Amino acid sequence: METLLIEGSAKTPTIKFDAEQGVIEIKGRSIPENSIEFYKPLIDWLEKYSTKPKPNTIVNIQLEYFNTSSSKCILDVFKKLETINKGGSSEVLINWHYEEDDEDMSEAGEDYQAIINVPFKMVMVQE
């Protein structure tokens, strides 16, 4: 599989999915006009990737802000990862990066951690 790269903008995060390494990065702000449409390529790639995942899949999330519709799409991404993790052919680890003073992002990470059954690591970033 080729690498999926979606360049970020003022309203959308950069998404990089290196299928050869099994590394996914989502970084920036997520307030797209249409969240479902924006995240669809990533969901589709995860679907393809799930047929032959790498033994370890690392997910690095570092969002400054996301809106409500993005939060649902992020959960959909996490559910795909949960399916990959449950399949037993790949160990998935989600690293949720948040800034030290950003309580909203910290709480959002904790909420996701409580909902999904995937190893989830909270990573505080020093400013």
CATH class of 4-125: alpha beta
- DSSP lists the bridge partners of residue 24 as 17, 59
For the stretch 8-64, pLDDT in tens is 999 999 999 999 999 999 999 999 999 999 999 999 999 999 999 999 999 999 999
What's the pTM?
0.93
Give mean pLDDT, residues 94-102: 95
Q: Which residues contact 104 (CB under 8 A, 6 or more apart)?
A: none
Asked if 30 and 70 touch (Cβ cutoff 8 Å), the reply is yes
C-alpha–C-alpha distance, residues 87 and 72, integer Å = 23
Q: How many residues does the chain have?
A: 127
Element (H, E) at 46: helix 35-49
- Check residue 127 and give its pLDDT: 67
- Check residue 2 and give its pLDDT: 83
Give mean pLDDT, residues 69-87: 95
